[in-house]
Amino acid sequence: MTAMVEERISKIKEIVCEILELDESEVTNTSLFVDDHGADSLGSIEILASLEKAFGVTIEQSELPRMVNLDGVYEVTAEAAGW
Amino acid sequence: MNRVVLTGIGVVSSIGIGAEEFAAGLRAGRSGARPISVFDTTGFEHANGCEVVGFDPSRWLRDLDPSTMGKASQFSVAAARMAVADAGLAGQLTDKRGLVTVGTTDGESFDLDRLVETEVEDGPEAMDGAGARRVPAPLLSLSIARELRLGNVSAYTIATACSAGNYAIGDGFDAVRSGEVDFALCGGADAMCRKTFAGFYRLGTIAPEFCQPFDVDRKGILTGEGAGMLVLESLDSAVRRGARIYAEVLGYGLNCDAYHQVAPNQSSIERCMRLALDDAGVKPHEVDLISAHGTGTKANDITETRAIRQVYGDRPPRTISVKSMLGHTMGAASALGTIACALAITHGFVPPTINHRVTDPECEIDCVPNESVAADLRVVQNNGMAFAGNNASVILGKYTPGEPAVNGLAPVAVNPAAADPRPADNRSEVKR
Amino acid sequence: MSSPAYAAVRPVITAWSAVSPFGVGRKFFVDGVLAGQPTAAPLDREQWPGPDEQACLVPDFSVKEVLGRKGTRSMDRVTGLAVSTIGQLLHDADGNRVVRTGEESALVLGTTMGSAQSTMDFVRDSFTGGQPHHVDPARMPNSVMNCAAGQCAIWHQLRGPNTTLAGGGAAGLLSLDYARRLLHHGRAGQALVGAAEEYSTARAWLHRHSGGTTVLGEGCAILLVEPAAAVGEGRRPLAEVLAVQSRFYLDADPRRALAASVRDVLTDAGVRQEEVWAAVGSAVGEPGEHEHAQLRALFGDAAVNRMPGADLLGDTGAASSALRIATVLSVAERSAEAAGKLVVLSAVDPYGTAACALLRLAD
């Protein structure tokens, strides 16, 4: 994993944890925001909005169903950014 | 306890100004949607809304200078003046004990948008003093009292967001019912603003073109604006002075989800409707029409129609959304909805849900697609729901002179000639 | 006009709390009132880069510190003030819940315009962000005036009517009147009633540009109001709400409207002017001087001097008249003489309302 990728992953995790009011230690790459961490639909939109601002990308709302955990969020963001 | 009736209606809306125009718009299924012009929409991929066009505040203001008032206050005052004239009470309320209450979501946020724009461009020192003086939310109601020179009223603004109109109507109903006041001038007002548009856009709930409540392909709301004001008085008072009675207010219900700031809660909405039915003394099967909150978002329409089916069973009354025509007029929405219900009772028709193609199988109701239908309506319910879980349902009944109320309350003695509605022409205000 | 409604329900105040420049909670408020200590202090200009040199702030108030990290990420200051005040009211000193809530609990919360700061911050992002829709979705509810009341409901499970009443300086008394009406019509079994106003840079700028010269303050006071009949054995009301009245005033002159409201509450309650033990105004600055002069003329110096002045907490906007009720209850708590006495509270709001309430303090 390159330093660049690690940095992005770490930034995404920071954003998600800030929004969902979680410690980074509580979240794994596959733990589910809604089922495991009690997130709601507003939380998902907040994550999408923050990613758009942080990485200067546009993410369609239709991608929300894929953004259920950190892996999903990274995948969607990477596609939107062309990483 | 007094029976409470609705005797005056004032409307500022994207499909018509004044009760008559508004009724005609509802019957025709007119759409208020058009490209937004009141703020710069550069950068938004789509920006339709339901603006009020052709509104000239000076036509309705005698005392107040429109430049000292925000747009929402201009709307509320214009609608209030219309409602008072429509009730045949122009100039007669100066010393009468009354309650003036206007519901709103955004108050004068249109002005706040512009103050922020100034601040961003030129710094906070450059903000416009006149603009700053226009923004306190109590002014939406106090400006009505000032313009109409009401010297014996309590006036305040109810800021329970998108159910605020129904909150205000309920408050007016209670005050008239117990005899605390001789009249209530109540309703809701909001002016379209960038803040709310950008917010709903960000939430992904602004429809690109039009609002299609209950449709399987619905894409969200359109923001709208306007005002709806009602004159409520006791039945005794209305009969005594021979006023036209649009409808009787039978009751209402209020509650709070205490659940989520923006997501609706089905069981709480059910409870609100049950509270309203109990308060009105009517049974679910007696309700002929529901004017739903019906925003046209996925979440609202499914949750609300499910709640309706829980309360009304598998064959609920026709359930329409006037937001298909008016967009979401925020604090004015439930006031305009209640007015639409009253006009539907008076004129004997069900307003349609326009822009409708295929009903969402998850919204199992008859939304009266696209075309209004004639109907004799006896009991009608209007729903309002809001951010912060503020729910409010109002129930209106048809008033028939000399007969007991729909809910069995005793009739009052009626002079039939006096109760005869005068032609609308004779009651409309002489314009300056 | 006279209303049978008062007699029917006999609303009583059974508990209260306040978060104010005196501190967080009732005890700090009572001590502050009795000490009569002014609270205006120089502002930290880094945190408050507005036009003001000084203000009356709730000392070291931080939403996260008072309420914890969970659920407070996007909570604004006025919401934090309201949520924490109600939390104080509902719990005893050890944190045990002492007041039940639920479907029968209404909340009537007075405001001027919600959080001007939140509303303006929210739309600012639309002007300065990369895209006009790059606003913070989490903050959208804060940009609407009912945010504080809705959050109070969520935090404290208040599932009855939940009303945000924009009434400016008279909001506390208007909310009390509104709550009385709710109780009278059986729309709730009990009502939490009060008002909240935050200090913010945005509010300071709006105040300055509107020509305001008063030193701004902030705070929240909440009362628990119930029908007298609902107060069971072992609980003692603190005061009975005998009457509340308000009037819009014409031609920028509140005197006639205030006089009429005073006359109405006395008539409603069948009380003679000379029976009033204390008279308490809410406005500060020049309007406050006029208000107090009128109260002196109506009730005499002794009645007005029985309560500390309104300016200890600064111009607390919508919260002012609610905080004045708290002031009266504070004095009553520590004064044997106050028992059973009649108190008139007034409010004169710059936007156009004069209001008045008549309380009878508990024996």
Output the 3-class SS for B2-68: CCEEEEEEEEEECCEECHHHHHHHHHHCCCCCEECCCCCCCCCCCCEEECCCCCCHHHCCCCCCHHH
How many structural domains comprise chain B?
1
Would residue B293 show up in a list of annotated catalytic residues for this protein?
yes
One-letter amino acid of C248: F
Tokens of B35: 């490209």
Which residues are CB-neighbours of B334 under 8 A, at least 6 positions away? B103, B162, B163, B164, B165, B166, B167, B169, B188, B293, B382, B383, B384, B392, B394
Catalytic residue among B50, B193, B211, B328: B328
User: Quick one: closest CA in C to A48, which residue?
Assistant: C137
Q: Is B206 helix (H, G, I), strand (E, B) or coil?
A: strand
Would residue B367 show up in a list of annotated catalytic residues for this protein?
no
pLDDT at position B421 over 70: no
CA dihedral B158, B161, B162, B165 (to 10 degrees): 0
Query: What would the CATH number be for the domain defined by C4-230?
Result: 3.40.47.10
Which residues are CB-neighbours of C292 under 8 A, at least 6 positions away? C281, C304, C309
Mutate to test the interface with B, among C1, C109, C144 (most CBs of B within 10 A): C144
Q: Which domain, by its residues, includes B317? A: 4-413
For residue B244, the distance in angstroms to the closest alpha carbon of chain A comes to 47
Question: A9 pLDDT band (50/70/90 cuts)?
Answer: very high
Work out the average pLDDT over C92-113.
95
- Could you identify the residue written with the tokens 């944890």? A17
CB C242 within 8 A of CB C17: no
Q: What are phi and psi of C325, to 5 degrees?
A: -65, -40
Strand-pairing partners, residue C106, are C191
Name the residue among A41, A49, A61 with its Cβ closest to that of B263.
Answer: A41
Determine what percent of chain A is predicted with pLDDT higher than 70.
99
Q: Which chains touch A (3 or more CB pairs under 8 A)?
A: B, C
B429 in a domain, yes or no?
Answer: no
Strand-pairing partners, residue C190, are C105
Torsion sign over Cα B60, B62, B67, B71: negative
Q: Which chains touch C (3 or more CB pairs under 8 A)?
A: A, B
Neighboring chain A residues of B300 at a CB cutoff of 8 Å: none
Burial of C35 (0-12, 13-18, 19+ CB in 10 A): exposed
Strand-pairing partners, residue C107, are C162, C192
Helices (H), chain C: 4-9, 26-35, 63-67, 77-90, 116-128, 147-156, 171-184, 201-209, 255-269, 285-299, 301-305, 320-334
C73–A18 C-beta distance less than 8 A: yes
Angle (nearest 5°) at CA B167 between C203 and A45: 60
Q: Return the H-helix or E-strand segment holding C226.
A: strand C219-227
Helices (H), B148-280: 164-177, 194-202, 235-240, 266-280
Tokens of B320: 């329409």
Name the residue among C70, C130, C138 with its Cβ closest to that of A42.
Answer: C138
A63 touches chain C (CB under 8 A): no
One-letter amino acid of C168: G
In angstroms, the CA C153 to CA C147 distance is: 10
Tokens of B212: 């299609």
Which residues are CB-neighbours of B322 under 8 A, at least 6 positions away? B26, B291, B294, B336, B337, B340, B351
Task: Identify how many contiguous H helices and E strands chain B contains and give both numbers.
Answer: 14, 15
Architecture in CATH for domain C239-361: 3-Layer(aba) Sandwich (3.40)
| Residue B1 CB coordination number (10 Å) | 11
CATH number at B76 reads: 3.40.47.10
Burial of C249 (0-12, 13-18, 19+ CB in 10 A): buried
Question: What is the reported pLDDT for C7?
Answer: 53
| Residue B117 CB coordination number (10 Å) | 18
DSSP for C180-199, written as a single string: HHHHHTTS-SEEEEEEEE--
Catalytic residue among B186, B193, B272, B293: B293
B268 in a domain, yes or no?
Answer: yes
Model confidence pLDDT, tens digit, residues C300-358 = 999 999 999 999 999 999 999 999 999 999 999 999 999 999 999 999 999 999 999 99
Neighboring chain B residues of C124 at a CB cutoff of 8 Å: 116, 119-120
B202–A41 C-beta distance less than 8 A: no
Work out the average pLDDT over B171-197.
98
Tokens of C210: 């509107």
**Antiparallel, parallel or unpaired: β C219-227 and C276-280:** unpaired
Name the residue among C73, C130, C135 with its Cβ closest to that of A56.
Answer: C130
Question: What is the reported pLDDT for C167?
Answer: 97
| Lowest-confidence pick of A34-48, B98-112, B408-422, C222-236 | B408-422
Question: What is the reported pLDDT for C59?
Answer: 97
Mutate to test the interface with A, among B203, B260, B298 (most CBs of A within 10 A): B203
Which residues are CB-neighbours of C52 under 8 A, at least 6 positions away? C43, C204, C208, C215, C216
A46–C138 C-beta distance less than 8 A: yes
Which residues are CB-neighbours of A82 under 8 A, at least 6 positions away? none
pLDDT at position B370 over 50: yes
Q: What are phi and psi of A12, to 5 degrees?
A: -60, -40
Work out the average pLDDT over B209-229.
98
Q: What is the largest CA-CA distance in chain B?
A: 66
A49–B262 C-beta distance less than 8 A: no
C205–B124 C-beta distance less than 8 A: yes
CB B248 within 8 A of CB B5: yes
C130–A42 C-beta distance less than 8 A: no
A26 touches chain C (CB under 8 A): no
Mutate to test the interface with A, among C75, C136, C144, C154 (most CBs of A within 10 A): C136
Question: What is the reported pLDDT for B424?
Answer: 37
Question: What is the reported pLDDT for B425?
Answer: 41
Work out the average pLDDT over C188-192.
97
Cα–Cα distances (Å) from B194 to B53, B154, B295, C124, C243, in that order, read 17, 32, 19, 10, 42
Determine what percent of chain B is predicted with pLDDT higher than 70.
95
Buried b (16+ CB within 10 A) or exposed e, B369-383: beebeeeebbbbbbb
B427 in a domain, yes or no?
Answer: no
For chain B, the average pLDDT equals: 94
A vs C, Cβ pairs < 8 A, gives 23
CB C119 within 8 A of CB C143: yes
User: Quick one: closest CA in B to C139, which residue?
Assistant: B199
Cα–Cα distances (Å) from C198 to B11, B373, B426, C271, C317, in that order, read 35, 51, 50, 36, 9
Would residue B285 show up in a list of annotated catalytic residues for this protein?
no
CATH class of this structure's domain A3-81: mainly alpha
pLDDT at position B405 over 70: yes
One-letter amino acid of A27: V
Model confidence pLDDT, tens digit, residues C193-211 = 999 999 999 999 999 999 9
CA dihedral C12, C15, C19, C24 (to 10 degrees): 170
Q: Return the H-helix or E-strand segment holding A37.
A: helix A33-37
Question: A1 pLDDT band (50/70/90 cuts)?
Answer: low
HSE (side-chain half, CA atoms, 13 Å) at C147: 26
ipTM of the complex, rounded to two decimals: 0.97
Work out the average pLDDT over B43-58.
97
B255–C159 C-beta distance less than 8 A: yes
C127–B117 C-beta distance less than 8 A: yes
CB C29 within 8 A of CB C302: no
For residue C313, give the nearest of C151, C209, C172 by alpha carbon.
C172
B190 touches chain C (CB under 8 A): no
Name the residue among B202, B203, B260 with its Cβ closest to that of A40.
Answer: B260
For residue A67, the distance in angstroms to the closest alpha carbon of chain B comes to 15
Work out the average pLDDT over C246-272.
96
Does residue B408 or residue A23 have the better pLDDT? Answer: A23
- Angle, in degrees to the nearest 10, between helices B194-202 and C116-128: 70
Neighboring chain A residues of C131 at a CB cutoff of 8 Å: 52
Q: Return the H-helix or E-strand segment holding B350.
A: strand B349-350
Strand-pairing partners, residue C223, are C16, C193
pLDDT at position C235 over 90: no
For residue C237, give the nearest of C12, C11, C18, C9 by alpha carbon.
C12
A41 touches chain B (CB under 8 A): yes
Question: C84 pLDDT band (50/70/90 cuts)?
Answer: very high
CB C281 within 8 A of CB C216: no
Domain with CATH 3.40.47.10 in chain C: 4-230, 239-361
In angstroms, the CA B212 to CA B54 distance is: 25
In angstroms, the CA B223 to CA B48 distance is: 8
Question: What is the reported pLDDT for B413?
Answer: 53
Question: What is the reported pLDDT for B246?
Answer: 98
User: Quick one: closest CA in B to C128, which residue?
Assistant: B120
Question: What is the reported pLDDT for C130?
Answer: 87
Question: B412 pLDDT band (50/70/90 cuts)?
Answer: low
In angstroms, the CA C160 to CA C152 distance is: 12
* Partner C, chain B 224-253, Cβ-Cβ below 8 Å: none
Question: What is the reported pLDDT for B216?
Answer: 98
Question: How many residues in chain A?
Answer: 83
CB C166 within 8 A of CB C112: yes
Work out the average pLDDT over B144-165.
97
User: Quick one: closest CA in B to A49, which residue?
Assistant: B202
Model confidence pLDDT, tens digit, residues B303-317 = 999 999 999 999 999
A5 touches chain B (CB under 8 A): no
